Amino acid sequence: MTFWTEGEPIADQAAPDGPIETRWERRQFGAKLVNPANRRKLTVIVVGTGLAGGSAAATLAEAGYKVRSYCYQDSPRRAHSIAAQGGINAAKNYRNDGDSVYRLFYDTVKGGDFRARESNVYRLAQVSVNIIDQCVAQGVPFAREYGGLLDNRSFGGTQVSRTFYARGQTGQQLLLGAYQALERQIALGNVEMHARHEMLELVVVDGKARGIVVRDLVTGAISTEFADAVVLASGGYGNVFFLSTNAKGCNVTASWRAHRKGALFANPCYTQIHPTCIPESGTHQSKLTLMSESLRNDGRVWVPVRAGDDRLAADIPEAERDYYLERIYPSFGNLVPRDIASRAAKNVCDEGRGVGPGGLGVYLDFADAIARLGRDAVEAKYGNLFEMYERITGDDPYTTPMRIYPAVHYTMGGLWVDYDLQSTIPGLFVVGEANFSDHGANRLGASALMQGLADGYFVLPNTINDYLAAGPFRPLTESDEEVVAARALVEERIDKLLSIDGDRTVDSFHRELGHIMWEYCGMERTEEGLTKAISLIRSLREEFWTRVKVPGTGETLNQNLERAGRVADFFELAELMCVDALHRAESCGGHFRAESQTPDGEALRHDDEFSYVAAWQFTGTGEPPVLRKEALEFEYVHPSQRSYK
Amino acid sequence: MNLKLRVWRQTDPSSRGRMVTYLVEDISPDASFLEMLDVLNERLILAGDEPIAFDHDCREGICGMCGMMINGVAHGPSRATTTCQLHMRHFKDGETIDVEPWRAAAFPVVKDLVVDRGAFDSIIQAGGYISAPTGAAPDAHATPVPKVDADAAFEAATCIGCGACVAACPNGSAMLFTAAKVGHLGLLPQGQPERDTRVVGMLEAHDEAGFGGCTNAGECTTVCPKGIPLTLIGRLNSDYRKAVTKRG
């Protein structure tokens, strides 16, 4: 059976060459500018109001463009960036501990297991320092020391302290900064905000992205919105697993609709499984809650030495505990990158040494930290996380070790973009988690916030000018052929979903899809499992389209209709993820193929065969997609086997 | 556990709502309140009934999207806890639970338990920001901020904008929400240039949006899932007096 075909390779035409330190400056100089008087005549649509979308919309409006912003939540302040806990990296070297732009670049390329573009990552490290300045100027209340200067902490995958934070609520504070900048632009009339609106289709005219079809989630009204460029900042697709740390509403629909219209989807199989989440408690489970990775700075991860040891943690003596991360990875210890920590947890649980119900958990123990630093110091650092843990589980982590287990957290893959963050559809830009660009096969902790804000505040507002300089483009009307067709597609799909009137709920399908993905496309993947998953997904998708029951009508707030559309797109994405995971017969970062490991069980890359970005072209539902390879070249950081031992 | 729920059902903003009773059986005490509603909704759909609409998103207590009156208390019986973080182990088997939307003139009901909190955004638009266009910032260490101020600003900034304060207030006032933002920005050196215009603008927007006045009832801070302190309202009043005195 043919699961995919191979097409022409693809190249990043916008990428500058020359010394890496000067590439971004040269690209900015080489890009066309738009005269301030002309910016008023140009409209940009931004879909999503998280760190990337919120900061992009505010910054583009400050520059003088007319911006229209859309989010599915009731306010732009609620986008899921708000839930990021631990912090944001920046190469400030305020600690004088040997950090630099180059080291952040190096750590990120290595952490991504040599599957990211060097040029993009270097730029990310460069603008990281501006992000902190920008956020402080906006009033983001980062943690400070007694001298009044900013505090830093260390994070997984690095040996320097470059992470800025605001207690365990860094994402919230950064997002509120972007949100407030956005609200200021709304008040000034530069941004038209449309909350409780969901993008359901991309409008492509003359080969250019020119607008979107949206549904007003309150009234059900479908409308078409036009612009000179469209920016997708619609986040990641972790909810394809049903259970993940994403918000319940997070979905792939905006990206997937663009993919179906011709935008290539890159590296969909690269998913990040976060090692420190609260384990499942039963079949009612609707999402998983992350405990910030920063906890690994002071918490020690362990399981009993003996399989099947069901004594309480307190009754297991020191000699019968296996602090397995410290044992296997002595130089990084509990701070190994996420992919490594997650797989190690899976391995000890597979050995029967897991703790708690079902044996799916490991301990994260703060007893030593409390003895060393005192309870007050631990509370000051992690108080809100400990409270959250206790609220959910009913256990007190000051006296009983936390139980944690890996959960899907972030997706490194996304729509393919060039150095300018433009997709393969001219005029369609993609920022933040929705694109694939900077994290390679694995993202380091505290780098998602950095990338979202880098894209939105500093990269996109510079690169989009080069495209918009050719505008304004020809005015569109509701009766243009492509516009009518895009709208009809949306209406037909809604009618179809409402008319099936079957006997299974949307959530029951989503849960089953999630099980398939977790089992066969989760922490460990095999050729056999992925092949099986593809056939299971196909038959479940068919069943969905004949048996799903969506109550109510399309003319009102209908949360099941919203979910049904999202799950329908997850079905198609799920298959592509499995195809991508199947084709990549190597292990790298968050993608672990059981067939490709070193003798001691570490991920084994095959750089000779797989040192490329896999960008997929859509050919039809259930049809084999076309693989377009973008070769990766490493001039500065030479690929080596990642070692954290 | 088995429960009897009495839930507010309302088709749209203009229609009349009513309480409808549902028996919900076999719920795990480890389920969250929203997961209990999920289970009920799945059963309603299969029975051919319309599921209950409610707002929610992150389900980890930070996005501020969820919120309902549970037995007459905003976010229910657990202190400093959003509805999504409330777990069924805090209820008794066989208990009757009333579930209603936020009740406030400035938060019209959209459907069932969903309300429109757009008025909060309009308060922020009226000055809840520091004007710092992208690119214009000095180095982050150019202005040290005393730790005590930074910590106090952070405490105020943890407001999630859920609206529980308004729902709990006998006057339907959003003074705690407004004071949290005025306090957050006013405690920082970066927030000083706009301190006067901010407090005046935000209070005007607050009143225009239809929120009531503050009479220091203190219900707001009692139900606040983030424990935003009432003292911030005193600070707001003081800032406001200074601002209008200066303005003359």
Q: What pLDDT, in 10s, does the model give residues A21-40?
A: 999 999 999 999 999 999 99
* Residues in chain B within 8 Å Cβ distance of A462: none
Q: How far apart are CA A425 and CA A204, in angstroms?
A: 8
With a pLDDT cut of 70, the percent of chain A lying above it is 100
CATH 1.20.58.100 at A481-610, yes or no: yes
Please identify among residues 373-432 of chain A the ones whose CB lies closer than 8 Å to any CB of chain B: 387-388, 391-392, 394
E strand intervals along A55-181:
66-70, 88-89, 163-164
Mutate to test the interface with A, among B1, B63, B113, B208 (most CBs of A within 10 A): B63
Positions in chain B whose pLDDT score sits under 70:
248
Specify which of A166-170, A309-313, B64-68 reaches the highest per-range mean pLDDT.
Answer: B64-68
- pLDDT of A382 reads 87
Please identify among residues 71-130 of chain B the ones whose CB lies closer than 8 Å to any CB of chain A: 78, 80-81, 85, 87, 89, 110-111, 114, 116-118, 120-121, 124-126, 128-130
**Do A167 and B58 make contact, defined as CB atoms within 8 angstroms?**
no
Mean pLDDT of chain A, nearest integer? 96
pLDDT band at A333 (very low <50, low <70, confident <90, very high): very high
Please name the residues in contact with A337: beta carbons below 8 A apart, sequence gap of 6 or more.
A111, A156, A157, A442, A444, A445, A642, A644
pLDDT band at A159 (very low <50, low <70, confident <90, very high): confident
Kindly report, residue by residue over A547-594, the tens digit of the pLDDT: 999 999 999 999 999 999 999 999 999 999 999 999 999 999 999 999
> CB of B138 within 8 Å of any CB in chain A?
yes
CATH topology of domain A274-408: Flavocytochrome C3; Chain A, domain 1 (3.90.700)
Domain boundaries, chain A: 274-408, 481-610
- pLDDT of A378 reads 93
Please identify among residues 449-508 of chain A the ones whose CB lies closer than 8 Å to any CB of chain B: 457-458, 461, 503, 505, 507-508
- pLDDT of B247 reads 78
Residue of A nearest to B133 (CA): A62
- pLDDT of A157 reads 67
The whole-number average pLDDT for the span A401-407 is 95
Q: Which of A195, A227, A235, A197 is nearest to A211 (CA)?
A: A227
CA distances from A530 to A221, A578, B105 (A): 40, 6, 54
> CB of B194 within 8 Å of any CB in chain A?
no
Kindly report, residue by residue over B191-239, the tens digit of the pLDDT: 999 999 999 999 999 999 999 999 999 999 999 999 999 999 999 999 9
Q: How far apart are CA A57 and CA A37, in angstroms?
A: 19
Q: How far is B214 from chain A (nearest CA, A)?
A: 24
Q: ω before A472 within 30° of 0 (cis)?
A: yes
- pLDDT of B189 reads 98
**Do B57 and A461 make contact, defined as CB atoms within 8 angstroms?**
no
Q: Is B247 exposed, middle or buried (0-12, 13-18, 19+ CB in 10 A)?
A: exposed
DSSP state, A454? I
Active-site entry in A123, A153, A338, A443: A338
**Do A248 and B160 make contact, defined as CB atoms within 8 angstroms?**
no
Whether the predicted pLDDT of A137 surpasses 90: yes
With a pLDDT cut of 90, the percent of chain A lying above it is 90
Kindly report, residue by residue over A84-131, the tens digit of the pLDDT: 988 999 999 999 999 999 999 999 999 999 999 999 999 999 999 999
Whether the predicted pLDDT of A158 surpasses 90: no
Kindly report, residue by residue over A144-156, the tens digit of the pLDDT: 999 999 999 887 6
Residue of B nearest to A94 (CA): B141
**Do A78 and B129 make contact, defined as CB atoms within 8 angstroms?**
no
CA distances from B26 to A258, A282, A384, B1 (A): 43, 12, 31, 5
**Do B85 and A388 make contact, defined as CB atoms within 8 angstroms?**
yes
CB distance A505 to B46 below 8 Å? yes
> CB of B24 within 8 Å of any CB in chain A?
no
Kindly report, residue by residue over A188-231, the tens digit of the pLDDT: 999 999 999 999 999 999 999 999 999 999 999 999 999 999 99
Pairing mode of beta strands B114-115, B109-111: antiparallel
Q: How far is B156 from chain A (nearest CA, A)?
A: 10
B114 DSSP β-pair partners: B111
Kindly report, residue by residue over A44-88, the tens digit of the pLDDT: 999 999 999 999 999 999 999 999 999 999 999 999 999 998 899
Q: How far apart are CA A429 and CA A435, in angstroms?
A: 9
- pLDDT of A9 reads 98
From A73, A184, A249, residue closest to B131, measured CB to CB: A184
Residue burial A174-197, b: 16+ Cβ < 10 Å; e: rest: bbbbbbbbbbbbbbeebbebbbbb
Please identify among residues 197-226 of chain B the ones whose CB lies closer than 8 Å to any CB of chain A: none
Q: How far is B15 from chain A (nearest CA, A)?
A: 13
Residue A338 bears catalytic tag? yes
CB distance A550 to A564 below 8 Å? yes
In 3-state terms, what secondary structure has residue A280?
A: coil
Q: How far is B236 from chain A (nearest CA, A)?
A: 18
Q: What domains can you pick out in chain B, each with its CATH number?
A: 3-110 (3.10.20.30), 117-247 (1.10.1060.10)
- pLDDT of A254 reads 98
